[in-house]
Structure 1
Amino acid sequence: MSLHIDWRASVGLVGTVVKYLSLTMLVPLFVAIIYREDVWVFVVSILITISIGLALERIEPDPDLGPEEALLLVTLAWLAAALIGTIPYLLAGYGTASTLSHPINALFESMSGFTTTGATVMGEIGVERHSHALMMWRQLTQWLGGMGIIVLMIAILPELAVNGAQLMGSEAPGPTLQKLTPKIAQTARALWMVYFGFTIALICLLYALHVLGLAPNMDLYNAIAHGFSTLPTGGFSTRADSIAAFSAAVQWALVPFMVIAGVNFALFWQVLRGEWRALFEDTEFRVYTGAIAVLVAVLAVVLFRGGAPVLELGGATEGVSENALRQAAFQIGSLLNSTGYATSDFAQWDAHARMVLLFAMFIGGSAGSTGGGIKVIRWLVILKTLRRELFVAAHPRAVRPVRLAGRVVDEDVIRGLVAFTFLYLLLFGLSAVFLSLDAARIGYELTPMEAITASLATIGNIGPGFGSLGPFGSYLAFSNVSKLLMTFLMWVGRLEIVPVLALFVLSIEE
C-alpha cells in the first residue's frame, strides 16, 4: 500500500493559522502603547508574522485535506505557533543581556507558553525585568494554547471547519471528542465561549479583590495576566515568586478556577443548557474531584505536622491550620491538572509532602479540559482493564467487558489508551535518563529526582519540578541539547504524543 501526504496543503493552511495569529499580537501592542514600552517590538513582530503567513499560504492557495494532511496540519501548526512566538522575545532581547535573546531559550519559553507548560528559563530576576507588553504576550500565549489554536481557528475559519472533527480530534486533550452541536464549528465556538466566560469571570473577581483592598498588588494588569494563565492551566506569572507574591484572598480565589480548568468543558456547556445532572453524573468528574479532595486532605495533614518550613512561622495554631489547608488546596489544585502556580517553594518541603505532589502530577486533568498529564479517564479505563484481566485469569471462561458509566468500552479504545500510557511513560523514563546523563556531561549537578521531575514536568505540561527546578527556579542551567529535548517533550505532550509519532511512522512507511 502506498501512502502519500500532501504536505503542501497542510503547510498552506499553516500559513492561514500564522496569519491570523498575528492579530493576537495586537493585545500586547495595546499594552505596549499604554506603558510606552516595546511598541516597535510588536509592530515589527506583527509585520513579520503576517508576511510569513501570506508566504506560506501561497504554497497551496486551495488546500484539500485528508486524514493524513489534517494530522500534519495540527502538528505543524503548534510548532509554527511556538516559532512565531519567539519573534517578540528575540526582538526585545536583541542587544541586551536577556536570556531570551538566545534563540533556543526563546523557543523554550514560547513552546512552554503555547503548550501551557509554565516551565521557564527566565529565572527569578528575568520575569520582572522585561516590559509589561512582553510579559502580557507571554501570558497570552498560554491562553491561546489552552483551549487550542486549531479549535479557535475552526471556530472562525470555514475552510478548516470542513475537516473540523479530524483536526479537533488530533488536538483536543483526552481520548474522546464530544460533539456538542450539529456542526463541529459550532462545537468549537461553544467550547471557546465557555472558556472565555470563565476567563472574564476570574479577571473580574481578581480585580474586585484589589478594589476591595484584599489584594493590594492585584491591579487590572495583573488580573488580566493571571486570568490568561489560570484557565489554560499555564502557570506563568508576572511575578518571580508566582502567586506567593499575592494575598491569601487571591490564592483562595484561584483554587476553584484551577479545579474548573481541569474539568471537561463540554460538561459546562451542558450545564449552561440546563442539564445540571450531567456534571455530577459524569464518572470522570466525580473521580477527578474526589482525587483532589483526598490529596488535599492528606497533604494538609502532612503540612500541619511540619512538612513545610514556612508553616512553622505561622504562630498560633489557627494560623498554621489555615496556612496548611490553603497551601495544600492550592498546590494540589495547581499540580494535579498541570497549572504549575505556587504559593511557596514546595521544592523545600519534606519528602512526604513532595511524594504527595509527585503522585498528583501523574494523574492529570480530565479529557476535554485544558489540563495536562495522562488524564483521569485513561487511569479509570486502565484500572478497570487490570481488574478485568485479574478476574478473567481466575475465571478463564468468563466474558467480562470493561464498562464506564454503564457503557461498554470498545476494545480498540482500550488498546489505544494503553498504548498512549505506555508511550507516555516510556518517553518520560528515557528522557529522564538522557537529561541526567547530559547534565553530567556539562558538569551540571542534577539529582535523580530533579531529572525525573524535569522530564515529567515537560511531557506532562506541568512546569515546575523539584530542587533547582522548583516553582521559583529555572531551566536555564540545562544545556541547549537538553532544552531542545524538553521543548520537544512539551510539543508532543500537548498533542498527546500519538499525532507527532504517527507522522514519523507514516513518513517511514512512505
Structure 2
Amino acid sequence: MSVGFVGQVLQYIGLAPLVPLLAALYYGESILPFVVTSAVMLAVGLLFERVLGREGELGRREAFLLVSLAWLAVPLAGTVPYLVAGTGTVASPVNALFESMSGFTTTGATVLGRISVERHGHAMLLWRQLTQWLGGMGILVLMVAILPQISVGGAQVINQEAPGLSFEKLTPRIRETARVLWGIYAGFTLLAALVYAVLGAVGVAPTMDLYNAVAHALTTLPTGGFSPEPRSAEAFVPAIQWAMMPFMLLAGTNFALFWHVFRGNPRHLTDNAEFRAYLLAVLGVGAVLSAVLYLGVGIAEAPTNVDPIAGNVENALRQGLFQTVAIITTTGYASMDLNTWDASAQTILLFAYFLGGSAGSAAGSIKIVRWVIAKRATDRSLFVAAHPDAIRPVRLNDDVVEEETIMEVLVFVVLFLGLFALGTVLLYLDSHRTPELTLSGLEAMSAAIATLGNVGPGYGPVGPMDSFLPFSDAAKLFMVFLMWIGRLEVLSVLVLFTPSFWTR
C-alpha cells in the first residue's frame, strides 16, 4: 500500500521537469532530458499505483515506509535528466545518483567541478536548483497539501519527514497546515528572488541577472546551496552576500513561527526558546570566527579572489558571519574558499556543522532544539544529583518536556554522532586506497558531517570550490546513504532495519 502511494508521489513530481523544459525552450537547449524524465516518472508512478494500489489508512508503520521509500524513489528518478543528457561528470549512474540525492535532500554536496558546471546549460542547472527547492519543505508535506488520499494520515507522514521533534498543527485540518507551510516557503522564495533581481537590475550586482536571482532563491530557502556559479557566493559582490544572510536565517527558522507572526503575534517568535538559542549560536560562532579572521590568525594563505581580510572589519565580519550562517543553517554557500583557512578557523566552523537550524525549518543536522533539551536535561540531572528528593521537570517554552521526548533526543544525538564517527573512519580509510584522494582526519570529518548533516561542502578536496568527484563509487554510495538517512533524521530509516518493524 505504501508503495502505491509512492507511485502517486512520482506522478506529481513528474510535472516538475516541465519547469526546466520551458527554460530549455527559452535558451534554445535540448528538451529531451526533461521530456524523458517526466514520462518516466509518470509511467513508473502510474504502474506502482495501478499494480500495488493505495487503499487503506496510513498508520505509523506505513508512514515510516512511505517516507523512506519516497525519499529513495524521487532521487532515483531525479537522475534521469543527467543520464539522458550524458554531459559532464554526472553522466555516470553513481555520480548522477549522488547529485540527485544531494539535491532533493538539500545537502549541496556536488560531483560537479568548475569545468563540469560550465558545460551544463541553463535548463540542466535549473533542474539541479529545483530539486533542492522541492526537497526543502518536504516532498511528502507537498503531497499532503495537494492529495486528499494522503492527508488522511498526513500527520503521521509529516511527523516522519519534517525535521525536528514533532510537527505543529497550525490549523484544524492537516492539509491546510501543509498548504500554509508551503505558502510561507514559496512566499519567502519569491521575496528572495525579487531582492536578488533588484540588486542586479539597479547595477549594485551586475552579475546577478534574473536567471541567477531565481536560481539562488531556489537554493537559499531550502538551505540547499547549489549554485550555477562554480565559486558559489564568492562570484558576487558583498551586497549580495549580505542580502543572502537574512534569507538563510529565515530558512533555518521554524516556519510555523512565521504563521503566528503573520497572524499578529510576533512575541510567539521572540519568546521562543529555540529561536533565541538559534540566534545566540549564530552570533556567538560568527563573532568568534570574525575575530579570528580579523586578527589574521585563521588565514593559512592569502585568498586570491577576495579582498584582504586581516585588519579589514567589514570583510572579516562578512566572511565570518556568512560562513557561520551558511553552515549552521546547512545552506552550504561559500563567500570564500575555506581551504585558505588554517586548522584553527576550520575547527571553529566544524563545531557549527553539528548545530543545525530550528525544528520545522528547511535546515539539517542535529537541530538547535535538541541541544537546548539536552542541556536542560543535563542541568536537571546535575541538580537532582545534589538534591535527590527534588522533582524538577525539563521545560521548553513554559511547557514540560515529556521524559519520552528527552529519551528520544538523547538517542538521536547518540545515533547521529555514532554514524558521524563511523562515516569519518570509513571515508578516511577509503580515501587512502583511492590514488587521487588522501584525506586528513579533519577533512574526513568534514566530509562525513557535510553529508550526514545535509550541509554540503567540507574541507580539502571537498571544499566549497571543489567537489566530491575524486571519491570512489563505493564511498559515494555510502554518502548517498548518509544524505538519505540524515534528511529523514536517522530513526525514520533505521527503524526499517529492525525485525520488530516487520512483525505485528
Matched AA of 1:59: V
- TM-score, normalized by length of structure 2? 0.96
Matched AA of 1:391: F
CA–CA separation in structure 1 for the residues paired with 2:95 and 2:178: 33
1:92-146 Cα offsets, whole Å, 9 max, x none, are 11xx5x2111100000000000000000011121112101111000000000000
CA–CA separation in structure 2 for the residues paired with 1:105 and 1:311: 30
Other structure's SS at 2:264 match = coil
CA–CA separation in structure 2 for the residues paired with 1:99 and 1:144: 23
Q: Report if aligned partners of 2:75, 2:104 keep a CA contact under 8 Å in 1.
A: yes
Superposition deviation, residue 509 in structure 1: 5.3
Tell me the residue number matched to 2:323.
331
Q: Report if aligned partners of 2:293, 2:309 keep a CA contact under 8 Å in 1.
A: no
Other structure's SS at 1:182 match = coil
Q: Residues 77 and 32 of structure 1: is their aligned pair in 2 closer, same or farther, counting only changes over 3 Å?
A: same
Give 1:447's match in structure 2, choosing from 440, 452, 455.
440
1:492 aligned to 2:485? Answer: yes
Other structure's SS at 2:393 match = coil
Matched AA of 1:167: V
Tell me the residue number matched to 1:54.
46
Matched AA of 1:505: T
Q: Report if aligned partners of 2:60, 2:156 keep a CA contact under 8 Å in 1.
A: yes
Q: Residues 164 and 407 of structure 1: is their aligned pair in 2 closer, same or farther, counting only changes over 3 Å?
A: same
Give 2:471's match in structure 1, choosing from 467, 478, 498.
478
1:161 aligned to 2:151? Answer: yes
CA–CA separation in structure 2 for the residues paired with 1:217 and 1:203: 14
Tell me the residue number matched to 1:100.
90
Q: How does 1:456-471 map to 2 (within 5 A)?
A: 456-471=449-464
Q: Report if aligned partners of 1:161, 1:185 keep a CA contact under 8 Å in 2.
A: yes
Q: Residues 370 and 315 of structure 1: is their aligned pair in 2 closer, same or farther, counting only changes over 3 Å?
A: closer
Tell me the residue number matched to 2:75.
82
Q: Report if aligned partners of 2:21, 2:123 keep a CA contact under 8 Å in 1.
A: yes
Tell me the residue number matched to 1:193.
183
Q: Report if aligned partners of 2:161, 2:488 keep a CA contact under 8 Å in 1.
A: yes
Give 1:413's match in structure 2, choosing from 401, 405, 413.
405
Q: Report if aligned partners of 1:32, 1:38 keep a CA contact under 8 Å in 2.
A: yes
CA–CA separation in structure 2 for the residues paired with 1:315 and 1:256: 24
Q: Which moved more, 1:429-438 or 1:194-203?
A: 429-438
Superposition deviation, residue 352 in structure 1: 2.1
RMSD of aligned residue pairs (Cα, Å):
1.5
Tell me the residue number matched to 2:132.
142
Tell me the residue number matched to 1:354.
346
Superposition deviation, residue 508 in structure 1: 6.8
Tell me the residue number matched to 1:117.
107
CA–CA separation in structure 2 for the residues paired with 1:452 and 1:403: 33
1:370 aligned to 2:362? Answer: yes
Tell me the residue number matched to 2:252.
262
CA–CA separation in structure 1 for the residues paired with 2:153 and 2:409: 24
Superposition deviation, residue 354 in structure 1: 1.1
Q: Report if aligned partners of 2:278, 2:357 keep a CA contact under 8 Å in 1.
A: yes
Superposition deviation, residue 483 in structure 1: 0.4
Tell me the residue number matched to 2:55.
63
Q: Residues 316 and 436 of structure 1: is their aligned pair in 2 closer, same or farther, counting only changes over 3 Å?
A: closer
5+ unaligned residues in a row in structure 2: which ranges? none
CA–CA separation in structure 1 for the residues paired with 2:130 and 2:454: 16
Matched AA of 1:47: A
Superposition deviation, residue 391 in structure 1: 1.5
Q: How does 1:273-292 map to 2 (within 5 A)?
A: 273-292=263-282
Matched AA of 1:85: G
Tell me the residue number matched to 1:299.
289
CA–CA separation in structure 1 for the residues paired with 2:142 and 2:382: 44
Q: Report if aligned partners of 2:302, 2:340 keep a CA contact under 8 Å in 1.
A: no
Q: Report if aligned partners of 2:188, 2:221 keep a CA contact under 8 Å in 1.
A: yes
CA–CA separation in structure 1 for the residues paired with 2:377 and 2:500: 33
CA–CA separation in structure 2 for the residues paired with 1:355 and 1:442: 25
1:251-307 Cα offsets, whole Å, 9 max, x none, are 110000001111000000111111111010100001101111111111111111112
Matched AA of 2:359: A
Q: Report if aligned partners of 2:59, 2:156 keep a CA contact under 8 Å in 1.
A: no
CA–CA separation in structure 2 for the residues paired with 1:472 and 1:361: 18
Give 2:230's match in structure 1, choosing from 237, 240, 243.
240
Q: Residues 471 and 62 of structure 1: is their aligned pair in 2 closer, same or farther, counting only changes over 3 Å?
A: closer
Q: Report if aligned partners of 1:225, 1:238 keep a CA contact under 8 Å in 2.
A: yes
Tell me the residue number matched to 1:229.
219
1:402 aligned to 2:400? Answer: no
Tell me the residue number matched to 1:181.
171
Q: Which moved more, 1:433-442 or 1:210-219?
A: 433-442
Q: Residues 158 and 220 of structure 1: is their aligned pair in 2 closer, same or farther, counting only changes over 3 Å?
A: same
Q: Report if aligned partners of 1:118, 1:339 keep a CA contact under 8 Å in 2.
A: yes
CA–CA separation in structure 2 for the residues paired with 1:317 and 1:342: 18
- TM-score, normalized by length of structure 1? 0.95
CA–CA separation in structure 1 for the residues paired with 2:462 and 2:218: 23
Other structure's SS at 2:155 match = helix
Superposition deviation, residue 404 in structure 1: 1.5
Superposition deviation, residue 310 in structure 1: 4.4
1:10 aligned to 2:2? Answer: yes
1:61-120 Cα offsets, whole Å, 9 max, x none, are 342132211210111001111001000010111xx5x21111000000000000000000
Other structure's SS at 2:445 match = helix
Q: Report if aligned partners of 1:348, 1:467 keep a CA contact under 8 Å in 2.
A: no
Q: Report if aligned partners of 1:457, 1:463 keep a CA contact under 8 Å in 2.
A: yes
Q: Report if aligned partners of 2:24, 2:122 keep a CA contact under 8 Å in 1.
A: yes
Tell me the residue number matched to 1:3.
none
CA–CA separation in structure 2 for the residues paired with 1:121 and 1:360: 23
Q: Report if aligned partners of 1:85, 1:110 keep a CA contact under 8 Å in 2.
A: yes
Superposition deviation, residue 506 in structure 1: 4.3
CA–CA separation in structure 1 for the residues paired with 2:417 and 2:183: 34
CA–CA separation in structure 2 for the residues paired with 1:196 and 1:89: 26
Give 1:422's match in structure 2, choosing from 407, 414, 429.
414
Other structure's SS at 1:363 match = coil
Q: Report if aligned partners of 1:311, 1:323 keep a CA contact under 8 Å in 2.
A: no
5+ unaligned residues in a row in structure 1: which ranges? 1-8
1:91 aligned to 2:84? Answer: yes
Tell me the residue number matched to 2:239.
249
Matched AA of 1:407: D
Give percent identity, aligned residues only: 53
CA–CA separation in structure 2 for the residues paired with 1:316 and 1:339: 23
CA–CA separation in structure 2 for the residues paired with 1:72 and 1:498: 12
CA–CA separation in structure 2 for the residues paired with 1:316 and 1:491: 37
